[in-house]
Amino acid sequence: MSSGIVIDHDDHKPLSHWFNAQIKYAFLEADKIKSNCNLSWKDRLRSKILFAPFLNLFYCLFAKRLILDGWAGIFYSTQRFFAELILSLVLLDRKLRQWIGLNE
């Protein structure tokens, strides 16, 4: 049964807004990964700095078959790649700072 209400949801924010949000989320995710010993297999995989972004891109494009969605699927997969890359950079930055003795 329809109430006759139409919700117009515009989620077309600028790309800069998306990047800023991903940076914020990456720091939150890095805190979660660092503080939790009982990580899910997905989070353990995400903690693999060099591999996670590329595995995620492959997963999105081919396992989820988003490549078949054309540019929309490629765009989404690329966004997921960059989100994982940002997380990897935050994790790497923290490891390097710890290694050379700098605090955050």
- Look up the domain containing 56 and give its range: 42-104
Would you write out the chain's pLDDT as a tens digit for each of its 104 residues? 556 666 565 667 888 999 999 999 999 999 999 888 788 888 888 888 889 999 999 999 999 999 999 999 999 999 999 999 999 999 999 999 999 987 65
Q: Give a yes or no: residue 17 inside a domain.
A: no
Domain count, the chain: 1
Burial (Cβ within 10 Å: 0-12, 13-18, ≥19) of residue 98: exposed
Six-digit token string for 21: 């949000």
What is the C-alpha to C-alpha distance for residues 87 and 47, in angstroms, rounded to an integer?
Answer: 9
Give the tokens for residue 27.
């720091």
Q: pLDDT value at position 63? A: 98
pTM tops 0.75, yes or no: yes
Examine residue 32 and state whether it is found in any structural domain, yes or no. Answer: no
| Structural domain contains residue 70 | yes
